[in-house]
Amino acid sequence: MDLQLKGKCALVTGGSEGIGKAIAMTLAKEGVNVAICARRMEPLEKTAEEIRNAYGVTVVAITADLTKDADAKAFVEKAAKELGSVDIMINNAGSAPGGVIETLTEADWEQALQLKFMGYVRCLRYALPIMVKQGGGRVVNLIGNDGVKPSYWEIAPGAANAAGQNMTLSLAGQYGRHNISFCAVNPGPVRTERWAGLVNAMSRDMKISYEEADKLAPASIPLGRIAEVEEVANLVVMLASPLVQMANGTMIEIDGGQDKALMDRFRDR
């Protein structure tokens, strides 16, 4: 199927590794020119060069710390200038610390909200006027299933995700008349570069071995495994296509049908 994306221009935050890199690669495979941002230039440039060599599209690499409004503004404006338009905005950058309320610090809560939620707000604040002026666009926000499948061990990510999901649905109602549509993609556990660190944190906090902790997430998923980054990227790129413009103000979980409560029961044993 031709997704009718060739020649479009997309911005992808957190694009140097993990899900963001997979999304940028998959968009480029469809002929999309991409601008990617991350905090560190070295992995960003490495990913940009990899995409250019593989698919021959225009790739713009811009360092940005999206906890800073000035950086978000600079990323969007420079990307729009270099690419010529902002047809697709993929908000992906950010993570939030796991843990229970008794041990989460003020800094943990600040981290959860500043990047995972406010980073998205900042980018959209500058991307949406461009989309309105050019007559439309597509926004896909990578958020997380913690916002709709709560877990006490992931209370900070859950709060940030729920805020992002509410914002996504709210903006869908506001900007539909400008031919801009919004979707939220809510991954469950995904095998990224961060996965080992998350398993280590579970092992430490639950006082179980790494091997035991690594089995917790798959045991809560009927399919018996966690997702691969390419699976998430394929869904995002499909939703970025003009073929599914009517998928507006909706959220899709990509978590294999995870029953998150099972993980909490294991923790409580």
Q: How far apart are CA 188 and CA 225, in angstroms?
A: 11
Question: Inter-axis angle of helices 155-175 and 118-134, to 10 degrees?
Answer: 20
Cα separation, 200 vs 63, in Å, equals 29
Domain that holds residue 47: 9-192+227-258
Burial group, residue 1, by CB count within 10 angstroms (0-12, 13-18, 19+)? exposed
User: What pLDDT is stored for residue 161 in this prediction?
Assistant: 96
Locate 151 and state its tokens. 């877990």
- Residue 53 belongs to some domain of the structure: yes
Indicate whether 265 belongs to any domain.
Answer: no
In this structure, is residue 207 part of a structural domain? Answer: no
> Would you say residue 197 lies in a domain?
no
Domain of 56: which CATH number? 3.40.50.720
Query: Does residue 200 form part of some domain?
Result: no
Read off φ and ψ for residue 137, nearest 5 degrees.
170, 180
- Token look-up 């399919």 returns 223
Looking at the DSSP bridge assignments, the partners of residue 98 are: none
Q: Look at residue 265 in the predicted model and tell me its pLDDT.
A: 64
Supply the pTM of this predicted model: 0.94
Task: Tell me if 90 is assigned to some domain.
Answer: yes
- What pLDDT shows up at residue 95? 83
Distance (Å, whole) CA 64 – CA 40: 8
pLDDT of residue 268: 63
DSSP state, residue 95? -
Query: Number of folded domains in the chain?
Result: 1
So what's the pLDDT on residue 79?
98
Angle between helices 195-206 and 210-219 (to 10 degrees): 110
Average pLDDT across each block of 10 residues of the chain; the chain has 269 residues. List them in order: 96 97 98 97 97 98 97 98 98 86 92 94 98 98 96 91 98 98 97 80 78 87 96 98 96 96 70
How confident is the model at residue 94, as a pLDDT?
81
